[in-house]
Amino acid sequence: MRFTTIILLSFLSFSAANSQSDFDSLLFTAPVINVSSSRLGLSKEDSFYPVQRFDRQEIINTNGSRVSDVLQRACNVFIKSYGGLSSLKTVSVNGMNAEHTLILLNGTRLNTIQNSQFDLSLISNEDIESIEVIPSGSSSYFGSDALSGVVNISTFGNSDDASADGIRAVFTARAGSYNYRNAIASVKYNRGSHDFKTAFYFEKTDDDFDYYYFNGYRNILKHRENNSLERINILVQYSYGCRNDVLNFMTLYSAVNRQIPGLEIGSAPMNAFQKDKIWNNILNYEHTSRSGSVLRASVNFQNYLMNYLSLPFDDSYYKNLTSGISLSYQFKMADIKYLAGADLFTGSIQSNELEEGRKRFSTAVYANIDYAAAKNLRLYPSVRFENISDIGKNVVTAKLGLNYKPLGSDLLILKAGTGNSYRAPTFNELYWKTGGNRSLKPETSFNIDAGVLSEFRVFGNASVEINYSRVRADNKIVWRPSASVYWTPVNISSSTSDVISAAISHSSHVTRETEISFKANYTHTASIKTSSDFTGDPSLNKQLIFVPSDMFKIDAGIVYRKSGLNLFFSYTGSRYADYENTIKMKPALTLDGNIFTNINAGAFQFRAAFEINNITNSDYQIIYGYPMPLRNYKFTITLTY
């Protein structure tokens, strides 16, 4: 803690020392640091991989209240939902598991050292300004867990009209099906180069939704019981920006209590509970010199406590404590932009399920280059060296990307990239008291990406993008029975994912007061296990469990003056519920929608919205044995001053 304090004071002192006195007489809009899912902060048009970005307006217009609700609209992204609002929700990219996608909050890792995952149902989208998705392995930029893709969530942005000095207060109330109620209050104060925001979020629901259960003879209507949720979020964040310096600080506390009814097998549901308490603290600093070079620094600390209760059988707790420091320096010489940096990370767990005293300390150095090889051709080589203390391993990852515009414009953009990525073994896998394996090696992958993007104007703004991705994963960790009674993890699995995706979008003002938007994407995934766990393994050359072969999504919206309508259609193709591919789940089709209106009354702004989920009342499951809700509703009122 003392070391972190020294670093913070050093950043602030450096900022003050480099400020010019004549800046004090000027007013600046407090900018934000562009913490992209690439260290180089590349735009969609200049990147060598597909980039999907959801801004604040898209987040507001999407049904639901979770980051997972927004992400499920993305191409090449499959959200594994284990039921209704209160259930676990994880992300699958490129047909890989949740632990193979790195989740970032303001550029800081959320994946735990406990299991390399993060439950996306724990993040509400109320204070999220943007979400960025890169379905490409990126360990040469960010290290462990970025084996199949990266999701970066940002709470900072300028979409609130931050340039206007003064106080802005917002109050939101929601009510809906299953005794759902939600209240959010936030206050934002802006004065010149200073921007301060605080927000309080409360949510509660019984979540005893209706669903159909097949009892062997017919479908019967049931209610999901023991499924309640209660959540509190407290956010405080501050931004300071002048011509040369930007400082962003965020502290976010979340407390979530929920019941877990478990797998639906026709008998009474479990009476299990999970309590999550998460405290994230993130400081990002950026200094731009007169020569154009950029110094960036970041400090973060996370305290994540998870307690699982299923009395009298189970009472487990895990307290993840992690912190990190990142420093980088970017400069340009001739046609080459260089970025070099270092990351320091430390983590430990206190748990009654794991060996005591286990800690991880990793150090990494990296270099990224943006090379303008020709007028229309850019190359992006990157390399990263990392040492992981507790497993005694050095890991080297590298990637080479290409962006070529043969017509010299965004009308035709060719992209390609190849490189390797990895995932370090988790503390669960290494130090589980009854079955951990300290000899585990990191999982590895070799990634190839290639695609084409075209952006053009035809009655508005339009884009078409087609991509192919291959992920060959080796040394994958699987749990299997050991000589004792317990299961133990081993590095024996490998798989290959071949993914073809296509996305189109179009938006236009058909009249002066009417705007329409349309997005559609399709993903085909063949994710095949290519190794045998034992002689005669029936899962060899079979599709990985819960990976849909096809996904198709359509988003459509229309805004007339200050009112609008949005529709969201999703088709999730067939997928297997067992490793031998004998249990095939039927495709899931859902249609959601919402209507909204905005009213200005002097200094007050009023917004009312009504959303319907599962309009067609479809009976479906995303994960086998975990029913999804039938038709349900929410009504939202927001008052802004």
Least confidently predicted of 135-149, 233-247, 482-496, 542-556: 482-496
What integer is the mean pLDDT of 343-358? 95
Concatenating the DSSP letter of every residue in 324-377 gives EEEEEEEEEETTEEEEEEEEEEEEEEEESSB-TT-EEEEEEEEEEEEEEEETTE
Q: How far apart are CA 70 and CA 174, in angstroms?
A: 18
For residue 38, the model assigns a pLDDT of 59
The alpha carbon of 5 is separated from its chain's Cα centroid by a whole number of angstroms, namely 29
Average pLDDT, the chain: 90
pLDDT above 50: residue 8: no
What integer is the mean pLDDT of 328-348? 95
CB 469: neighbour CB atoms within 10 A?
28
For residue 32, the model assigns a pLDDT of 54
Using DSSP's 3-state secondary structure scheme, residue 5 falls into helix
Separation of first and last alpha carbons in the chain: 39
Q: How confident is the model at residue 486 (pLDDT cuts 50, 70, 90)?
A: confident
What integer is the mean pLDDT of 353-376? 95
Least confidently predicted of 163-177, 182-196, 420-434, 592-606: 163-177
Q: Return the structure tokens found at 92.
A: 């699958």
- Highest mean pLDDT range out of 106-115, 270-279, 550-559? 550-559
pLDDT in tens, 72-90: 999 999 999 999 888 899 9
Q: How far apart are CA 1 and CA 303, in angstroms?
A: 13
Please answer whether residues 253 and 208 qualify as being in contact, where contact means their C-beta atoms are separated by less than 8 angstroms: no
pLDDT above 90: residue 463: yes
Q: How far apart are CA 136 and CA 634, in angstroms?
A: 35
Residue 428's H or E segment, with its range, is helix 427-431
pLDDT in tens, 182-210: 999 999 999 988 999 999 999 999 999 99
Which string of b and e fits 504-520 if b means at least 16 CB within 10 Å? Answer: ebbeeeeeeeebbbbbb
Nearest CA to 43 out of 54, 51, 55, 33 is that of 51
- Residue of 11 and 74 predicted with greater confidence: 74
Q: How confident is the model at residue 310 (pLDDT cuts 50, 70, 90)?
A: confident
CA distances from 241 to 29, 249, 382, 601 (A): 7, 12, 30, 32
Q: How confident is the model at residue 484 (pLDDT cuts 50, 70, 90)?
A: low
Q: How confident is the model at residue 4 (pLDDT cuts 50, 70, 90)?
A: very low
Q: How confident is the model at residue 21 (pLDDT cuts 50, 70, 90)?
A: very low
pLDDT > 90 fraction of the chain, expressed in percent and rounded: 83
DSSP state of 611: E
Q: How far apart are CA 343 and CA 366, in angstroms?
A: 8
The alpha carbon of 230 is separated from its chain's Cα centroid by a whole number of angstroms, namely 22
For residue 126, the model assigns a pLDDT of 87
Q: How confident is the model at residue 215 (pLDDT cuts 50, 70, 90)?
A: confident
Please answer whether residues 355 and 438 qualify as being in contact, where contact means their C-beta atoms are separated by less than 8 angstroms: no
pLDDT above 70: residue 13: no
For residue 11, the model assigns a pLDDT of 35
- Max Cα–Cα distance, the chain, nearest Å: 80
Q: How confident is the model at residue 7 (pLDDT cuts 50, 70, 90)?
A: very low
For residue 444, give every residue at least 6 positions away whose Cβ sits within 8 Å of its Cβ, in sequence order, or none: 147, 420, 421, 422, 473, 474, 475
For residue 192, the model assigns a pLDDT of 87
What are residue 58's phi and psi, to 5 degrees? -65, -40
For residue 267, the model assigns a pLDDT of 86
**Burial of 450 per CB tally in 10 Å (0-12, 13-18, 19+):** middle
Q: How confident is the model at residue 20 (pLDDT cuts 50, 70, 90)?
A: very low
DSSP state of 578: S
